[in-house]
Amino acid sequence: MAGIVKPEGLSEAAKTYDNVFRVLPYFSLAEVASILKLNILEVENEDVIINKRRKAGGTGPYKKGMTITYKEEVAKFEESVLKPELTVAKTKDNILNYKDKKALVIAGSPLDLKTKKHPLEQMIIRDEIISHAEDVVFALFFAERDEDVYSPSTAFTGFFPHIDALVAAGLVASGKGNYAASGVFAMPADEDDTDAYDSLVEWIGNSSDFLRSSKGGVPQLLCAQTVLKAARASYRNKVKAFQMPSMSQVLEAIREDALIPDLVFNTHQALGQGSRLILQKTGNMDIGFNVNKSNQFCQVRFIDEDPNVAQFWIEAAYGVRVKDVHSKVFRTNECENTGLNLAGDY
């Protein structure tokens, strides 16, 4: 049947555009990374950062004949490791689903009846890779690696589980100044309820003076839109405004009241919904990826009993890292977010 997507056409498209397809996950990640100010690194195996900690408190009075005691160390070092974890995307499809009568023209590219080359051949491969990349984006903060469960949410370990592990290990704790309760940021219960705004200002304002300053980097707040919406409605009650204040007015008020004039607010659907807060220096979070796990990024295989069934196979590795969790550069709260799955169209 002329014009149907051909097995050899799919395979050829996957090979011909391999260099193009490899960068699709990068561009999908690049958008969310730009919005949230995350770093993207291509990491083959692992990347290690050494954070140096200077010890203070070695100064005191001196008098002749006094017994001198010494602090035991000048500095210590802590490692932060980024090690991408291997993932696969695998899908099967019957090429007879794509007939000329269904798609003679795709994105302005008509079927070439002379060469029998169908524009869908490239587009099918591209869509498979884009869907894979979107799976990664919406798992970026929530995924928790589990090799016994096949799902985007178990493919690698995302930022929130990574931070939770640091909390469990005691590296992020209230005693270290990088963890503090805030309570849930809820929409106002009545016209006198200002809790969401007040709690957000208090939580930010009680962070380290160094974190709130622009020394060592611009401070940023990562949060879901639900936090900002609740703060905005609460702020309206606080100032007794007849009309809803603009979001820019609310954010400027937070900066002033929390004494953090250069604070930037970053939100994205990848953060989900909920009251989780991350206050940190911009650039403190890394995404590591490796799309060179196989010779051909997206492989097309025909291994089913039905020769019209194609299997699409993608291998890549992804991982995340919080570069430093010292209270001077990082702070989080006790709340949890719920992830959103907006990948694909169905």
Q: Is the pLDDT of residue 111 over 90?
A: no
Distances (CA, A) of 150 to 69, 154, 291: 58, 7, 20
Query: What is 10-71 written as a DSSP string?
Result: HHHHHHHTHHHHHTHHHHHHHHHHHHHT-EEEE-SS-EEEEEEEE---------TTPPP---
Q: Is the pLDDT of residue 110 over 60?
A: no
Instruction: Return the pLDDT at 104.
Output: 46
Which has more confidence, 1 or 74? 74
Looking from the CA of 109 toward its CB, the CA atoms found within 13 Å total: 11
**Phi then psi for 309, rounded to 5 degrees?**
-95, 120
Out of 15-24, 128-137, 155-164, 285-294, the most confident range is: 155-164
Q: What is the pLDDT of residues 293-337, one digit of tens each?
A: 778 889 888 888 888 888 889 999 999 999 999 999 999 999 999
Query: In 10 A of CB 135, how many CB atoms?
Result: 22
Q: Is the pLDDT of residue 20 over 80?
A: yes
pLDDT exceeds 60 at position 179:
yes
Residue boundaries of the structural domains of the chain = 7-52+75-163+285-320, 174-284+330-338
Rg (CA), the chain: 26
E strand or H helix at 133:
helix 120-139
Q: What is the pLDDT of residues 9-19, one digit of tens each?
A: 888 888 887 88
pLDDT tens track for 240-292: 988 999 999 999 999 999 999 999 999 999 999 999 999 999 999 999 999 88
Q: How confident is the model at residue 119 (pLDDT cuts 50, 70, 90)?
A: low
* 166 DSSP assignment: H
Question: CA-CA distance, 122 to 99, in Å (whole number)?
Answer: 15
CATH 2.40.50 fits 7-52+75-163+285-320, yes or no: no
Give the 3-state DSSP-derived string for 68-126, with helices as H, strands as E and coil as C: CCCCCCCEEEEEEEECCEEEEEEEEEEHHHCCCCCCCEECCEECECCCCECCHHHHHHH
Query: What pLDDT sits at residue 113?
Result: 46
What pLDDT score does 277 carry?
A: 98
pLDDT of residue 98: 72
Q: What is the mean pLDDT of residues 166-190?
A: 97
Cα–Cα distance between 105 and 108 in angstroms, integer?
A: 6
* Mean pLDDT rounded to a whole number for the chain: 89
Calculate the CA 61 to chain-centre distance: 49
The better pLDDT of the pair 184, 63 is held by 184
**Does residue 89 register a pLDDT over 60?**
yes
Q: For the chain, what percent of residues have pLDDT higher than 90?
A: 64
Is the pLDDT score of 24 beyond 50? yes
- Of residues 289 and 113, which shows the higher confidence score? 289
**What is the structure's pLDDT at 305?**
84
pLDDT at 70 over 50: yes
pLDDT at 78: 85
Instruction: Compare 115 and 30 and report the one with higher pLDDT.
Output: 30
pLDDT value of position 316: 93
